[in-house]
């Protein structure tokens, strides 16, 4: 029987691990398929407080990992595949084997959807990203593009006009799916140029491996052209990693865990922290903050359980 089982080793899971380990709760962290979480896919993180010169993303999570280990957190490379809630404890299936825990902190994140173009993985962090808030400021005075047509693509495009010299908005249709107010704002912006009826087909890098252009194909004409950009922002949505909890936890229409109060879910002893529940802020610091809150709530829950 575990006291605290933490699903995920991104910023949220690792912060929960630091707090619960320091509280002597001997947490077990399941790392999943992406140990360290999304920050391992980026290079420089400039907005995490405490690092005036910025810090390399993988280094930041490695530091958090070491900090949690120092206080006794245990780590396993397990993937949660099933879940059965109980009254005072819950059963979790990890790669086919069942374990029991009094509290569960779900910090399994949300995976950005990518385009599936050749060599895509290796280009992330080298002029390819899914987060304008995170990476927009690196592209001052240069052209960039956003791929997508929904509200988040429209928001990212408008945000990027603060930095970029020009923002191409590449969309497979000839009108945006975004709300009318957002679409009107995008279309009226002098720095944004929509590229309608077009789909990306290839990322083109320079000899240093950084993005230099995106090749697109006209959906109707079939003609291909190159758009010279220093960064491609893919904004076609995220998928929350909640599959094992479907049918047990209250999820919203897009599959994100609904937090009832603080990080509590609809089940006692089950808490959700970070991007798995937050589709609004999606930042390392907000995920870490929620990891802290979930740890404190789990600690209080365990104290009440013993009383």
Ligand X SMILES: Cc1cc2nc3c(=O)[nH]c(=O)nc-3n(C[C@H](O)[C@H](O)[C@H](O)COP(=O)(O)OP(=O)(O)OC[C@H]3O[C@@H](n4cnc5c(N)ncnc54)[C@H](O)[C@@H]3O)c2cc1C
Which residues are the active-site residues? Answer: 131, 134-135
- Which of residues 95 and 224 has its CB atom nearest to ligand X in the complex? 95
Q: Where are the alpha helices (DSSP H) in 26-167?
A: 57-70, 120-123, 132-135, 151-160
Binding characters for ligand X, 64-103, by CB under 6 A (x = yes): ---------------xx-----------------------
Binding mask 269-288 for ligand X (x = CB under 6 A): -----xxx-----xxxx-x-
- In the complex, the smallest distance separating the C-beta of residue 25 from ligand X, rounded to whole angstroms, is 19
Counting every residue written for the chain, the total comes to: 307
Please tell me the distance from the alpha carbon of residue 100 to that of residue 3, in angstroms, as a whole number.
Answer: 9
Shortest Å distance, C-beta 132 to ligand X: 10
Contact 295, 23 (CB under 8 A): yes
Which one, 134 or 186, has the nearer CB to ligand X?
A: 134
**Distance in Å, CB of 33 to ligand X, minimum:** 5
Q: How many residues bind ligand X (CB under 6 A)?
A: 43
Write down the H helix ranges in the chain: 11-22, 57-70, 120-123, 132-135, 151-160, 180-188, 284-306
Identify which range of 43-51, 62-70, 186-194, 232-240 contacts ligand X by CB under 6 A: 43-51
Q: For residue 266, give Cα distances in angstroms to 9, 124, 257, 260.
A: 23, 36, 9, 6
Interface with ligand X by CB under 6 A: which range of 41-49, 146-154, 170-178, 200-208?
41-49
Nearer to ligand X, 32 or 85 (CB): 32
For the bound state, the minimum distance from the C-beta of residue 86 to ligand X, rounded and expressed in Å, comes to 19
User: Which long-range CB contacts under 8 A does 92-98 form with residues at least 24 apart?
Assistant: 92/5, 92/7, 92/244, 93/244, 94/30
Tell which one of 2, 3, 8, 132 touches ligand X (CB under 6 A): 8
Q: Is 4 in the site for ligand X (CB under 6 A)?
A: no
Q: In 3-state terms, the chain is what percent helix, strand and coil (to 5)?
A: 30, 30, 40
List the one residue from 59, 115, 117, 124 that touches ligand X (CB under 6 A): 124
Q: Could you tell me the sign of the dihedral formed by the alpha carbons of 181, 187, 192, 194, in that order?
A: positive
Q: Of 11, 229, 39, which Cα lies nearest the Cα of 124?
A: 39
Query: Closest Cα partner for 125 from 46, 227, 210?
Result: 210
Could you say which residues in the range 190-249 bind ligand X, by CB under 6 A?
Answer: 241, 244
Q: How far is the CB of 111 from ligand X (least distance, A)?
A: 7
Please report, as ranges, the residues that interact with ligand X according to CB under 6 A: 7-13, 30-35, 37-39, 41-42, 45, 47-48, 79-80, 107-109, 112, 124, 129-131, 134-135, 241, 244, 274-276, 282-285, 287
């Amino acid at each position: 029987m575990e006291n605290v089982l933490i699903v995920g080793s991104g910023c949220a899971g690792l912060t929960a691990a630091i707090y619960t380990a320091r509280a002597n709760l001997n947490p077990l962290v399941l790392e999943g398929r992406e140990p360290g979480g999304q920050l391992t896919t980026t290079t420089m993180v400039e907005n995490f407080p405490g690092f005036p010169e910025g810090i390399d993303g993988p280094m930041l999570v490695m530091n958090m990992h070491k900090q949690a280990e120092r206080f006794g957190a245990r780590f396993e490379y397990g993937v949660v595949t099933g879940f059965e809630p109980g009254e005072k404890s819950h059963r979790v299936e990890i790669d086919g084997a069942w374990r029991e825990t009094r509290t569960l902190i779900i910090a399994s994140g949300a995976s950005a959807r990518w385009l599936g173009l050749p060599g895509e993985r290796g280009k992330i962090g080298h002029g390819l990203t899914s987060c304008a808030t995170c990476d927009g400021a690196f592209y001052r005075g240069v052209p960039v593009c956003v791929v997508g047509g929904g509200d988040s693509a429209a928001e990212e495009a408008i945000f990027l006009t603060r930095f970029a010299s020009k923002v191409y908005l590449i969309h497979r249709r000839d009108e945006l799916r975004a709300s009318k107010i957002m679409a009107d704002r995008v279309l009226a912006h002098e720095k944004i140029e929509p590229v309608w009826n077009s789909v990306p087909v290839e990322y083109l890098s320079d000899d240093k491996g950084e993005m230099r252009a995106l090749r697109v194909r006209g959906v109707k004409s079939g003609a291909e052209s190159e758009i010279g950009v220093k960064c491609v922002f893919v904004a076609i949505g995220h998928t929350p990693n909640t599959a094992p909890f479907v049918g047990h936890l209250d999820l919203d229409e897009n599959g994100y865990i609904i937090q009832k109060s603080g990080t509590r879910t609809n089940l006692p002893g089950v808490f959700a922290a970070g991007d798995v529940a937050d589709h609004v802020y999606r930042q390392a610091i907000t995920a870490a903050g929620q990891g802290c809150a979930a740890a404190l709530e789990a600690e209080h829950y365990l104290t009440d359980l013993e009383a």
